[in-house]
């Protein structure tokens, strides 16, 4: 009986992220026109995913990498015979995406803090040797 309210709350959080995060280093999820989304996760993409994750952790924002290994390279699917390079988009995504905090009961100020911190992120340049 509360599903609609729970989804509406997540839609508000996602809307705040989508309108608030204005950082070219962070690619936001897109929603198809005339489609609905329940926002189970709020997954963003950045080329320096590990650096971004550490930056967020340094600011007390926990993130999750749900699928660090693309399915076709997972041990349970080895019998299919796929190798690295077979699905380059999935492989790139496994290295570049992470989920920002998204949960029911998230306070408005917590969402705004995550937005502000994300907007302050600057890609860390790799040192050349």
pLDDT tens column, 2-19: 999 999 999 999 999 999
- In Å, how far from its chain's centre is CA 81? 29
What's the CA gap between 112 and 101, in Å, rounded?
A: 11
User: Is the model's pLDDT at 92 over the cut of 50?
Assistant: yes
Q: What percent of the chain has pLDDT over 90?
A: 91
Statement: residue 124 has pLDDT above 80: no
The pTM (predicted TM-score) of the whole model is: 0.89
User: Of 75, 77, 74, 52, whose CA–CA distance to 63 is shortest?
Assistant: 52
The pLDDT of residue 129 is above 50: no
């Amino acid at each position: 009986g509360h599903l609609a309210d729970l989804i509406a709350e997540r839609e508000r959080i996602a809307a705040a992220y989508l309108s608030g995060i204005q950082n070219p280093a962070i690619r936001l999820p897109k929603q198809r026109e005339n489609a609905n989304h329940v926002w189970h996760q709020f997954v963003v993409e950045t080329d320096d995913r590990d650096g971004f994750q550490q930056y967020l952790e340094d600011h007390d924002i926990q993130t999750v990498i749900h699928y660090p290994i693309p399915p076709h390279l997972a041990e349970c699917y080895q019998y299919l015979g796929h190798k690295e390079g077979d699905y380059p988009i999935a492989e790139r995504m496994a290295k570049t995406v992470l989920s920002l905090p998204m949960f029911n009961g998230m306070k408005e100020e917590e969402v705004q803090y995550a937005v502000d911190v994300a907007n302050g992120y600057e890609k860390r340049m790799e040192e050349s040797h």
